[in-house]
Amino acid sequence: MNAIKKKRKKSLNSSRNSADSIGLDAIPVPAHVAIIMDGNGRWAKKRLLNRIKGHEKGSQAVRTVVQSCRELGIRYLTLYAFSTENWKRPKSEVEALMSLLTRFLQSEKSELMEKDIRLRVIGQIDRLPANVQDSLNDTIAATRNGSSMDLILALSYGARAEIVQMVQKLGAMIQRGQLTPEAITADLVTDHLYTRDIPDPDLLIRTSGEMRISNFLLWQIAYAEIFVTPTLWPDFSKQELLQILSDYQHRERRFGAV
């Protein structure tokens, strides 16, 4: 192995690799990819369509990206689908998003099972309508043994709310005498987030060109490689994902060391 390859190998978090079969270097793909799926509304506006049409088209892109990541051997895929702040949108848009989510879960359940993909959710799930929670619980239960990839949907998710509930839990432990403030470590904090048994994202992708995080995984992305593409989410393709992964493979991750 030459020096560059060795260095790259050292700098990348790995997972099983099948990327070489579709043209990426025969080195590991990131274990965890997280995506801020943005730009559905602008995609629709450009076509003089209702925003809802953008969300519908966006859900097709979700299907493509889930299957592509699974084929590439990416072990964890987290998709930011609905933020705590998105509750502020008009009722009609929120309702359309919820019904789209239910339809997505129903139509994808068998595919997820067949492809051995485990569905998980992070966020304030109890704020979702009861029928959406039922669909989620049904698909989560049906896919719980999936071992090829974890698909994590961030729904009614906000990183600040996640951090607040973690602080409340640790505070309650201190109050009960189960914990001292000095015993709080970064690992203990990690263990009390929604993502407790999920490794931190290696690669964070945001579509539609906005250079911001919008309250997504604030603690977990401390050392994620960030890639922002101007492509609007409904236009995001497998080909673009491959290009981003190829870019990622050429980055050197240092984690603060030299």
Q: Indicate the helix (H) or strand (E) that contains 80.
A: strand 76-83
Q: Report the alpha-carbon distance of residue 116 to residue 33 in Å, rounded.
A: 18
The stretch among 34-42, 103-111, 125-133, 170-178 that binds ligand IPE (CB under 6 A) is 34-42
Which run of H or E residues covers position 246? Answer: helix 238-249
Query: For residues 38 and 202, which CB has a smaller minimum distance to Mg ion in the complex?
Result: 38
- Active-site option among 13, 17, 86, 235: 86
50 binds ligand IPE (CB under 6 A): no
245 touches which of ligand IPE, Mg ion, none (CB within 5 to 8 A by kind)?
none
Catalytic-residue membership of 17: no
Q: Is residue 115 a contact residue for ligand IPE (CB under 6 A)?
A: no
- Exposure on the CB side of residue 3, measured as CA atoms within 13 A: 0
Backbone dihedral angles phi then psi of residue 198, each to the nearest 5 degrees:
-120, 130
Sign of CA dihedral 80, 82, 86, 92: positive
Residue with tokens 């099948």: 18
Asked whether position 81 contacts ligand IPE by CB under 6 A, the answer is yes
CA dist., res. 170 & res. 228, Å (int): 35
Please provide the distance, in angstroms rounded to a whole number, between the alpha carbons at the two ends of the chain.
21
Question: Is 38 labeled as catalytic in the residue annotation?
Answer: yes
Q: Which of residues 217-246 bind ligand IPE (CB under 6 A)?
A: 233
Q: 249 and 27 in contact (C-beta within 8 Å)? A: yes
Shortest Cβ 207–Mg ion spacing (Å): 9
| Positions in 161-190 near ligand IPE (CB under 6 A) | none
Could you say which of Mg ion, ligand IPE, none residue 251 binds, taking C-beta under 5 to 8 angstroms by partner kind?
none
Burial code of 211-241, b = ≥16 C-beta within 10 A, e = fewer? eeeebbbeebbeebbebbbebbbbbbebebb
**Residue 103 interacts with ligand IPE (CB under 6 A)?**
no
Residue whose structure tokens are 């099983």: 16
Per CB under 6 A, 34 contacts ligand IPE: no
Least distance to ligand IPE, CB of residue 142, Å = 24
Q: Shortest distance, CB of residue 70 to Mg ion, whole angstroms?
A: 26
Q: How far is the CB of 112 from Mg ion (least distance, A)?
A: 26
Size of the site for ligand IPE (CB under 6 A): 19
**Can you say whether the dihedral through the CA atoms of 11, 12, 14, 18 is positive or negative?**
negative
Told to check if 84 binds ligand IPE by CB under 6 A, we report no
Q: Is the dihedral of CA 99, 122, 90, 42 positive or negative?
A: negative
Q: Which residues bind Mg ion (CB under 5 A)?
A: 38
Catalytic center residues: 38, 86
**Under the rule (CB under 6 A), what is the footprint of ligand IPE?**
36-42, 80-83, 85-86, 97, 208, 210, 212, 214, 233
